């Protein structure tokens, strides 16, 4: 069996596909990943020996400016990505039995699969964004819903209209060019009636939360046995467990001055710091030996040795920290991150800082909560409930869906 996995998004969108690719390959499949051309992602897929076909612009070029992208930027990117998918995926999916798409709404992927007559699967890493009778849609570029509108059915219909405004013209012009009829509801067309949810059930319960018939697996985790960077083992062994601070791919979205605030607050709590530079370019604030700066690092190994993880609330970081039994402080910025912050707080495995501008006092309060013995005990207890077989289960399901032979 030959499978094409595709996404466009941050590392949290690419790494799960690498995990699924490894699980598929273990069953005998040939796998190609089609993803943004960022160097980080090419190195990630190369590490596991999976070919990467570049798709669209690099993510870093879009999000790493001084300011977050504007609505006008989003409309330009939407049309660019639709065109890229019709072009790149049509070639990359030739001879494949299935095309699985995820990440930023993958408009065009289902249409390429339809044109080639192969199985299409849409997968997501959280329930945020799936039509629901229990919560409102998130913010998208375009005309906002009227102030005071609370009817969820109306709000989700308006969400579909915003998706149509973003993608409809580009999608239907490309469909017409390959002889396919127009699509009236782009969002629901992409989702299908049975999307796959690749999230841990303990962290992301979904029963009754969406109107769609979800196919559940656990999170798609890529096992990581890489050693920690030179000097980090010695730093960790030299004192009490430190606080990890990192904002991943947030770049322009990271809170202003967060490195200084987090380091000073951690010190006030008697903790050293491991600071992840990431795309936000976080750096140490002085030459003191109680702060160790890392780049790309094995979080699975590191998080088992820290006192708490301060992060932005991406699905991958949240799951990795939960699996390691590390208390969390989530400072959400965009998209699904407020959802994960809420879940961390509800589960008692950490604390959420929903204010977009952390101050020393506000961050100190939530870090103090996360460092408490009750939260530590709850985080360690929940760690034993986090599934580790999500990618293997999804690989089995995909083989069964296309009648593949193992």
pLDDT, one tens digit per residue, over 271-307 is 999 999 988 889 999 999 999 999 999 999 999 999 9
pLDDT at 334: 87
Q: What is the pLDDT of residues 158-208, one digit of tens each?
A: 999 999 999 999 999 999 999 999 999 999 999 999 999 999 999 999 888
The encoded tokens of residue 127 equal 């329930």
The encoded tokens of residue 161 equal 């209209």
Place of tokens 């977050």: 68
3-class SS of residue 196? strand
Between CA 31 and CA 51 the distance in angstroms is 8
Q: In the chain, helix, strand, coil percent, each to 5?
A: 45, 15, 45
231 by Cβ neighbours in 10 Å (0-12 / 13-18 / 19+) ranks as exposed
3-class SS of residue 351? strand
Domain with CATH 3.40.50.2000 in the chain: 2-221+388-402, 232-383
CATH class of 232-383: alpha beta
CA-closest candidate to residue 309, choices 334, 330, 282, 292: 330
The CA–CA distances, whole Å, from 201 to 83, 123, 382 equal 35, 15, 12
Q: What is the pLDDT of residues 334-393, one digit of tens each?
A: 889 999 999 999 999 999 999 888 999 999 999 999 999 999 999 999 999 999 999 999
Phi and psi at residue 276, to the nearest 5° = -90, 120
Whether the Cβ atoms of residue 293 and residue 280 lie closer than 8 Å to each other: no
Burial 111-133 (b: 16+ CB within 10 A, else e): bbbebbebbbbbbbbbbbbbbbe
Between CA 139 and CA 109 the distance in angstroms is 23
Place of tokens 């409309």: 75
3-class SS of residue 293? strand
Place of tokens 């609370």: 150
Confidence at 406, pLDDT banded by 50, 70, 90: low
pTM: 0.95
pLDDT at 379: 98
CATH entry, 2-221+388-402, from 3.40.50.720, 3.40.1710.10, 3.40.50.2000, 1.20.1250.20: 3.40.50.2000
Q: Tell how far CA 198 is from the center of its chain.
A: 11
Q: What is the pLDDT of residues 41-76, one digit of tens each?
A: 999 999 999 999 999 999 998 887 777 888 899 999
CA-closest candidate to residue 340, choices 324, 357, 358, 320: 320
């Amino acid at each position: 069996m030959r499978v094409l996995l595709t996404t466009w998004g941050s590392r949290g969108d690419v790494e799960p596909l690498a995990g699924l690719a490894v699980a598929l390959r273990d069953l005998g499949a040939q796998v190609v990943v089609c993803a943004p051309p960022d160097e980080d992602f090419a190195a990630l897929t190369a590490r596991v020996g999976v070919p990467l076909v570049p798709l669209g612009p690099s993510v870093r070029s879009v999000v790493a400016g001084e300011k977050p992208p504007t609505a006008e930027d989003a409309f330009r990117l939407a049309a660019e990505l639709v065109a890229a998918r019709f072009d790149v995926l049509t070639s990359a999916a030739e001879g494949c039995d299935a095309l699985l798409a995820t990440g930023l709404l993958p408009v065009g992927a289902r249409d390429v699969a339809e044109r080639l007559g192969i199985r299409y699967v849409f997968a997501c890493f959280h329930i945020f964004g799936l039509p629901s009778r229990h919560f409102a849609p998130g913010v998208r570029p375009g005309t906002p819903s009227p102030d005071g509108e609370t009817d969820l059915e109306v709000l989700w219909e308006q969400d579909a209209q915003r998706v149509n405004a973003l993608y409809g013209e580009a999608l239907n012009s490309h469909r017409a060019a390959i002889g396919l009829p127009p699509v009236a509801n782009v969002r629901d067309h992409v989702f299908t009636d049975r999307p796959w949810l690749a999230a841990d059930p303990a962290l992301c319960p979904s029963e009754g939360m969406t109107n769609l018939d979800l196919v559940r697996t656990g999170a798609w985790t890529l096992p990581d046995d890489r050693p920690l960077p030179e000097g980090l083992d010695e730093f960790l062994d030299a004192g009490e467990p430190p606080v990890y601070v990192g904002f991943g791919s947030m770049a322009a979205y990271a809170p202003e001055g967060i490195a200084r605030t987090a380091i000073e607050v951690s010190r006030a709590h008697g903790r050293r710091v491991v600071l992840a530079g990431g795309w936000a370019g976080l750096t140490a604030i002085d030459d003191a030996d109680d702060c160790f700066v890392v780049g790309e690092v094995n979080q699975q190994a590191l998080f088992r040795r820290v006192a708490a993880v301060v992060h932005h609330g991406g699905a991958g970081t949240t799951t990795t920290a939960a699996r390691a039994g590390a208390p969390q402080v989530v400072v959400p910025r965009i998209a699904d991150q407020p959802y994960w912050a809420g879940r961390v707080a509800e589960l008692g495995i950490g604390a959420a800082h929903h204010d977009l501008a952390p101050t020393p006092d506000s961050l100190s309060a939530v870090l103090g909560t996360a460092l408490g013995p009750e939260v530590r005990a709850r985080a360690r207890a929940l760690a034993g409930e986090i599934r580790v077989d999500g990618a293997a289960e999804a690989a089995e399901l995909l083989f069964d869906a296309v009648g593949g032979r193992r």
